[in-house]
Amino acid sequence: MKQTLLRRTFVGVASAVALRGAPGRKTTDRPALLGGEPVRAKRFPGWPQVRPEDEKPWLDALRACGWWRKQGHYVNDFEKAWAKRMGARYCVATANGTGALMAALNAVEVGPKDEVLVTPYTFIATINSILAHFALPVFVDTDRETHMIDAGKIEAAITDRTRCIMPVHLGGNVADMDKILAISKKRGIPVVEDACQAHLSEWRNKPVSTLGDLGCFSFQRYKNLPGGEAGGVVTNDEKLYLHAYGYHSHYRTPDENAADPAICRNGINLRMSEFQAAALTAQMTRIEENARKRDANAALLNRLLEDVPGVAPVKMYPGCTRNAYHLYMMRYEPERFAGMPRDRFLKAMNAEGIPVGAGYEELNKYPFLENTLNSRAFRAVYAKKEVDHWRERNHCPVNTLVTREAMWMSQSVLLGEASDMEDIALAMRKVQQNAEAIKRG
């Protein structure tokens, strides 16, 4: 699969040259892609960021030799700290974000013959967590303006097999939770929030992940709160917490003892290690500081891009009171750039030292889905007519358009200075003013 599906985030190419003009300055310099001098030679901030004080908790975990959660304390401490930060009663720390999604889906008893309503514009882990339970992902088309699931199309996709709605808070933006929760309440369908990219995002001043029945996070190396490979499930429901915990640890209890056989179900090992939790403990000390810097730089970049017609930051729903900006997402309009294809625009921007990349591709059309549905296991669960019916419903025309015009920058770009944001806008204006030459050249 292509690079955009192998990572949740775009990992920027090495950036490169210092600011050579103030905002609003008209540059007629030759584009770097055509042999001119790039706007930047200076790198944007890297990620993850490590400070000397980060070593202590990790070394403490190492030397204590309590290398799993029953013997150590870092995993338990992190669960309590993250639950408190989210305003939730419970947190289950998992080995990765995919494991968090799997545990949450198991908690609401997603299984064979079930359908989970989900966006086609997401990272593949969202879909694989559904397929891992032998359920079918039913794709609801994308809202072009926000790149979120189009909540207005959810109810039409519901059938008697719909077991769960899984909105994805993509890039730190937030799905339209007012509509989604209203549908959930009306139809009695659980909501599992994929907040894997939405650390500290808020809907009407409430942290995402606590809006639905369960919420899931990834703390993978590129995430706003990085722990290498790690994840977490949060919930306010004790029963769901115990089921999620049980699934992630061979159906043991939160004190890691054998569960009552009368309630025990299947489970696997998705436990977070003490080393991951120790790293997260250190990173948590500055998550708010970093978030505020992203907030300020995103607001500045939004204003600067008003002078670049043809590059539009994605919109937020009115209920989104905080965007975590794991990704700074944009829409590209080629007609404003002399008809230059998006990929050519991206090459021109990268040559100027600006790490901007394409968004996700049409996940609902990727061959892995057909390969999965044609596998021996899925053929044992689903009859041909059931799969054919799924194919008939698998059309997302707006998402096709979104995948052709979407682009983004990673969250670490927003940890730079105001002058770095000015460089981004300057490079875009430079490319726009030379669009015809770049398109031909």
Same domain assignment for residues 422 and 278: no
> What percent of the chain shows pLDDT beyond 90?
90
pLDDT for 263 equals 79
Average pLDDT over the chain, rounded to an integer? 93
Asked if residue 381 belongs to a domain, the reply is: no
Q: What integer is the mean pLDDT of 248-252?
A: 93
Same domain assignment for residues 298 and 425: yes
pLDDT for 431 equals 98
- The pLDDT-based confidence of 441 (bands split at 50, 70, 90) is confident
- 174 burial type by CB count under 10 A (0-12 exposed, 13-18 middle, 19+ buried): buried
pTM of model > 0.95: no
- The pLDDT-based confidence of 264 (bands split at 50, 70, 90) is confident
Question: What residue type is 225 in one-letter code?
Answer: L
- Which CATH number goes with the domain that contains 312? 3.90.1150.10
CB 130 within 8 A of CB 116: yes
Measured between alpha carbons, how far is 164 from 162 in angstroms, rounded to an integer?
Answer: 6
- 156 burial type by CB count under 10 A (0-12 exposed, 13-18 middle, 19+ buried): exposed
Nearest in space to 198 (alpha carbons), one of 222, 171, 176, 221? 171
Same domain assignment for residues 141 and 234: yes
Asked if residue 378 belongs to a domain, the reply is: no
Per-residue pLDDT tens digits for 316-356: 999 999 999 999 999 999 999 999 999 999 999 999 999 99
DSSP secondary structure string, 137-194? EEE-PBPTTTSSB-GGGTGGG--TTEEEEE-B-GGG----HHHHHHHHHHHT--BEEE
pLDDT for 82 equals 98
Same domain assignment for residues 210 and 327: no
| SS3 assignment for 2-58 | CHHHHCCCCCCCCCCCCCCCCCCCCCCCCCHHHCCCCCCCCCCCCCCCCCHHHHHHH
CB 116 within 8 A of CB 164: yes
* Exposure on the CB side of residue 256, measured as CA atoms within 13 A: 11
Q: Which of 264, 285, 306 is the last residue of a domain?
A: 285
Asked if residue 75 belongs to a domain, the reply is: yes
Per-residue pLDDT tens digits for 8-27: 433 333 333 333 344 444 45
Same domain assignment for residues 317 and 342: yes
pLDDT for 421 equals 98
pLDDT for 388 equals 97
Given a cut of 90, whether residue 1 has pLDDT beyond it is no
Same domain assignment for residues 186 and 316: no
- Which CATH number goes with the domain that contains 278? 3.40.640.10
Asked if residue 383 belongs to a domain, the reply is: no
Asked if residue 391 belongs to a domain, the reply is: no
CB 116 within 8 A of CB 166: yes
Same domain assignment for residues 41 and 75: no
Q: What integer is the mean pLDDT of 220-231?
A: 97
Asked if residue 396 belongs to a domain, the reply is: no
Q: Which of 262, 285, 308 is the last residue of a domain?
A: 285
Asked if residue 42 belongs to a domain, the reply is: yes
Measured between alpha carbons, how far is 84 from 89 in angstroms, rounded to an integer?
Answer: 7
* Structural domain total, the chain: 2
pLDDT for 257 equals 87
CB 246 within 8 A of CB 264: yes
Same domain assignment for residues 43 and 104: no
Per-residue pLDDT tens digits for 269-320: 999 999 999 999 999 999 999 999 999 999 999 999 999 999 999 999 999 9
Same domain assignment for residues 72 and 39: no
Tokens representing residue 194 in the block: 């994929």
**Which element (helix H / strand E) includes 216?**
strand 214-218
Same domain assignment for residues 65 and 187: yes
Domain extent for 279: 52-285
Measured between alpha carbons, how far is 56 from 113 in angstroms, rounded to an integer?
Answer: 48
CB 118 within 8 A of CB 390: no
Asked if residue 375 belongs to a domain, the reply is: no
pLDDT for 13 equals 33
Per-residue pLDDT tens digits for 159-196: 999 999 999 999 999 999 999 999 999 999 999 999 99
- The pLDDT-based confidence of 32 (bands split at 50, 70, 90) is very high
Q: Which of 230, 252, 285 is the last residue of a domain?
A: 285
Same domain assignment for residues 100 and 30: no
- The pLDDT-based confidence of 202 (bands split at 50, 70, 90) is very high
Same domain assignment for residues 335 and 252: no
